[in-house]
Amino acid sequence: MILRRMQQLLAQLYDAPIEHDVEDFVIADRQRFTSLTGEQCEADEQVALVEEGDGVRIGVFVDEQVLARLQQHDPLDQLDDDNLADYCTALEGVSHFHYLMWSLSRTRHVSLLELELQADVDKYAGAVKLMTHQGRGCFPATLHQRLFHGVSYLPGLSAEHRRRYEEANRTAARFCRSLEEKFLRARCSRPEAWLSQVRRFFRCNQQEKMRLAAF
């Protein structure tokens, strides 16, 4: 299952396994997702967390057409221009789920901005890992531009939501560019240092993430 394999990609990348399987929480039907979570779903991906008594209920929506295209053109076998957008859509949902579950197991509070920021880093870091491996060690030099520039948002977003997405994008872009220039360019390639830094970022809280991204 493609989402399970994406979850395994993140768990291995960050050395951060969790007990729960994202596939057990997937709701691919938009109307069913709304009825079960009480949240309207306008995007092709959404994660809902609903508090219930002493616990929480989590639902992961990824549009069934996105999933069907990914099954036909699997990014974990070959990530390219044809499936990059669908990879980003699906990986964002997996990232939200994985980071929420990892944080809940440690009784850590997670803000919406932190979730979006981590997801933007996850999309980039996961793509670097995949494309470098698939390209037999060749670094994808244009990836940063493709993921962080010319980004569009749903037209119906509130001003608050749009500001949050824009801040997450700017911060993740700055952090990923800094690591790329320090550790991944040919003249100073140190992939082990890059991996250490993205793992450190994953374990930081929001304030620490913002400080790391500032340098």
**Does residue 193 or residue 35 have the better pLDDT?**
193
Question: What is the number of other CB atoms lying within 10 angstroms of the CB of residue 128?
Answer: 24
Tokens of 25: 């929480």
| Amino acid 186: pLDDT | 65
Interval 53-106: pLDDT, tens: 777 788 899 999 999 999 999 999 999 999 999 999 999 999 999 999 999 999
pLDDT higher than threshold 90 for residue 49: no
Q: How confident is the model at residue 138 (pLDDT cuts 50, 70, 90)?
A: confident
CA 148 to chain centre: 13
**From 68-72, 106-110, 170-174, 181-185, the region with the lowest mean pLDDT:** 181-185
| Amino acid 29: pLDDT | 83
Domain range summary for the chain, segments of one domain joined by +: 2-213
Of 134, 154, 128, nearest in space to 46 by CA: 154
